[in-house]
Amino acid sequence: MPRISIEIKNRPLGSAPAPVGDCGAVVDFRGVVRGEEDGKPISALEYHAYQPMAEREMNRIVRELTDEFACFDVYIAHRVGIVPAGEAAILVRVAARHRGPAFCFLPEFMDRLKIDVPIWKVRSIPAGVVSPT
């Protein structure tokens, strides 16, 4: 049974906890807010989530993918609220005995997250606009 940790936070994500088990591969992904959107400079993005359903859907996706790819430790943190440019909106850490399953897990998870999980990018905050955090 894989260890799965999922968090939705309204503060900077920090780092993922150390994986457990006899892993030969640990793959980290940080989705960082770029300083532009649609060709225009921005200072931040704002995300909202329906948290109970988002956590449940992420857990479901992870369980399905750990059945397909032999990953035994998955940590996911997604930020909500205002995320300044240069900071991470999502952090995913995947651990497996071998690199192949960990590398395969990650893009599949991110693709499904964007389709199935109720976390929305609500707005872009233009560069130079001060917005409460």
pLDDT at 124 over 80: yes
**What confidence tens digit (pLDDT) does each residue in 45-58 have?**
999 999 999 999 99
CB-based contact 42:85 (threshold 8 Å): yes
Give dist(CA 110, CA 120) in Å, integer: 14
Tokens of 71: 């990953």
Give dist(CA 102, CA 72) in Å, integer: 9
pLDDT at 28 over 60: yes
Residue type, 101: P
pLDDT the model gives residue 42: 97
**What confidence tens digit (pLDDT) does each residue in 86-101 have?**
999 999 999 999 999 9
Give dist(CA 90, CA 80) in Å, integer: 9
Give dist(CA 92, CA 109) in Å, integer: 9
pLDDT at 132 over 80: no
Query: Which CATH number is 3-11+21-126 given?
Result: 3.90.1170.40
pLDDT the model gives residue 41: 96
Task: Give CA 131 to chain center in angstroms.
Answer: 23
